[in-house]
């Protein structure tokens, strides 16, 4: 086993462990506070700081990753998630909205430090002339992460029923402490540290390719979360009559399948290891994706069986969205510069977090006021915008060609 593969396994293990707790915590918060009588918009507001501080973290986290090394930013992310879980382990009377929002803010910072560090680290472990290998490694990392996020959704529902909200977060915090201690000793110390010592002003990307791809990412993830984060779980419970355990299990299976599709995206896009995707292929997959939420909305409008339309449409959406996300994840790592890779990746995932914030807020507000169909139409429009933005990407990837 080469040193690069050993580091890849350490990074992936850290990312997997963090993702389990992140997915479980999201499902715990949605179901627990819905059970307490919070409205969809109020639940969405609990995630406001989670997404907002993800934007800030990706901007400045890339800078600190380049200055200090990705091993430090990844370990800080793990430590902050432990602290966020500890904040939620207080007695129920202390779980006020401001307190939960503050804990979610810390979790958002932790999540994006961890993600930025993991994605940037992969770039440094693969030679620049092995783009097929890079595409596969990024697809495996991204897909496996989302598969485990789905497991985390299921875990959150199970822990809520078995141990209650407080017991669930204590169990997750204890497990993550062990992962954090192992990471302190196993991650390479100089990973990702830039030799150029970037200035703080370098957090803003000067690359047209990075800026265009970041804008497309914002619209793509806004399109997913506008109906997936709050609207869908509440719709499944209140309109279709699903129990909390059924909602958690279904959302978990969706994310697991979504993650699996991401890992096999290089095969689904019809490319061998020596030919990698360009803007035309990425735009085409996005345009196809835009038809799915529009189709679900039309089906509901025409009075088709809601459960069949929503569940079937969601499964198709998951397959197509997984491929789109995997293509984007590969392109950002490919476009990013070698020296200071975390700056480009951090800027890109800042847009990713902005898209999630936009989608989360719209998910609660639009569903509460206009219903699921409106969320779906907005989703279709945002995906179409992402496809149009992708067409403005350079034909050749400047960092590697």
- Nearest alpha-carbon partner for 21 in 118, 145, 128, 156: 156
Q: Tell me: the pLDDT tens digits for 375-387?
A: 999 999 999 998 9
Supply the mean pLDDT for the chain. Answer: 77
Say if CB 160 and CB 34 are below 8 A apart.
Answer: no
Paired tokens of 30: 């949605």
Q: Strand, helix or coil at 253?
A: helix
The values of phi and psi at residue 210, to 5°, are -65, -40
Domain coordinates in residue numbering, the chain: 3-190+202-390
Tell me how many degrees the CA angle 29-35-41 measures, rounded to the nearest 5.
65
With the C-alpha atoms ordered 149, 366, 349, 320, is the resulting torsion angle positive or negative?
A: positive
335: exposed, middle or buried (Cβ count in 10 Å: 0-12, 13-18, 19+): buried
Least confident of 18-22, 55-59, 65-69, 303-307: 65-69
Paired tokens of 389: 């933005």
Decide if pLDDT at 128 tops 60. no
Per-residue confidence band for 184, with pLDDT thresholds at 50, 70 and 90: confident
Q: Which residue shows structure tokens 């950002």? A: 332
Q: Tell me: the pLDDT tens digits for 79-95?
A: 888 998 888 888 877 77
Distances (CA, A) of 315 to 24, 232, 251, 309, 331: 21, 13, 10, 10, 25
Paired tokens of 155: 């875990």
The pLDDT assigned to 291 comes to: 93
Question: How many Å apart are CA 324 and CA 318, to the nearest integer?
Answer: 10
Give the ranges where 206-305 is alpha helix by DSSP (H). Answer: 208-228, 231-238, 244-263, 265-268, 279-301
Say if CB 73 and CB 62 are below 8 A apart.
Answer: no
Highest mean pLDDT among 85-99, 140-154, 190-204, 311-325: 311-325
Q: Strand, helix or coil at 122?
A: helix
The pLDDT assigned to 381 comes to: 93
Least confident of 48-57, 107-116, 391-400: 391-400
Decide if pLDDT at 231 tops 50. yes
3-190+202-390 belongs to which CATH class? mainly alpha
Got the DSSP string for 12-57? HHHHHHHHHHHHHHHHHHHHHHHHTT--HHHHHHHTHHHHHHHHHH
The pLDDT assigned to 399 comes to: 42
- Greater pLDDT, 116 or 164: 164
Tell me how many degrees the CA angle 88-91-92 measures, rounded to the nearest 5.
85
Paired tokens of 349: 């995932």
Q: Tell me: the pLDDT tens digits for 100-124?
A: 888 888 888 887 777 777 766 666 6
Say if CB 357 and CB 48 are below 8 A apart.
Answer: yes
Q: Which residue shows structure tokens 């997936």? A: 228
Q: Tell me: the pLDDT tens digits for 326-360?
A: 887 777 777 766 555 666 677 777 787 788 888 88
Give the ranges where 264-392 is alpha helix by DSSP (H). Answer: 265-268, 279-301, 306-335, 341-370, 372-390
SS3 of 145-189: the string is HHHHHHHHHHHHHHHHHHHHHHHHHHHHHHHHHHHHHHHHHHCCC
């Amino acid at each position: 086993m080469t040193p690069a593969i050993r580091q890849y396994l350490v990074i992936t293990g850290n990312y997997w462990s963090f993702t389990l707790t992140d997915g479980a915590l999201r499902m715990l918060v949605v179901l627990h506070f819905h059970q307490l009588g919070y409205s969809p918009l109020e639940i969405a507001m609990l995630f406001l700081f989670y997404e907002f501080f993800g934007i800030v973290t990706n901007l400045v986290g890339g800078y600190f990753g380049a200055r200090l090394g990705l091993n430090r930013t990844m370990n800080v992310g793990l430590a902050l998630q432990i602290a966020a879980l500890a904040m939620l382990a207080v007695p129920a009377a202390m779980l006020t909205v401001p307190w939960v929002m503050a804990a979610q803010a810390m979790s958002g910072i932790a999540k994006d430090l961890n993600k930025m560090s993991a994605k940037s680290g992969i770039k440094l472990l693969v030679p620049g002339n092995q783009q097929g290998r890079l595409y596969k490694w990024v697809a495996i990392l991204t897909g496996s992460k989302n598969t485990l996020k789905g497991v985390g959704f299921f875990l959150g529902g199970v822990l809520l029923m078995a141990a209650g909200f407080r017991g669930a977060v204590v169990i997750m915090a204890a497990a993550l402490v062990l992962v954090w201690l192992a990471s302190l000793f196993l991650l390479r110390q100089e990973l990702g540290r830039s030799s150029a010592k970037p200035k703080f002003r370098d957090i803003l990307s000067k690359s047209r390719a990075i800026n265009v791809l970041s804008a497309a990412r914002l619209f793509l993830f806004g399109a997913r979360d506008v109906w997936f984060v709050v609207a869908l779980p509440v719709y499944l419970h209140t309109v279709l009559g699903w129990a909390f355990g059924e909602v958690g299990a279904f959302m978990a299976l969706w994310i697991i399948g979504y993650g699996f599709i991401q890992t096999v995206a290089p095969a689904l896009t019809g490319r061998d290891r020596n030919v990698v995707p360009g803007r035309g292929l990425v735009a085409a997959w996005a345009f196809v994706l835009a038809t799915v939420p529009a189709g679900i909305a039309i089906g509901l409008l025409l009075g088709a069986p809601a459960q069949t339309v929503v569940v079937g449409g969601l499964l198709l959406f998951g397959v197509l969205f997984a491929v789109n996300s995997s293509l984007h994840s590969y392109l950002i790592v490919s476009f990013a510069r070698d020296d200071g890779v975390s700056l480009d990746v951090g800027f890109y995932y800042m847009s990713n977090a902005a898209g999630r914030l936009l989608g989360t807020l719209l998910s609660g507000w639009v569903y509460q006021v206009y219903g699921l169909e409106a969320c779906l139409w907005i989703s279709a429009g945002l995906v179409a915008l992402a496809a149009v933005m992708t067409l403005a990407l350079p034909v050749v990837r400047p960092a590697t060609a």
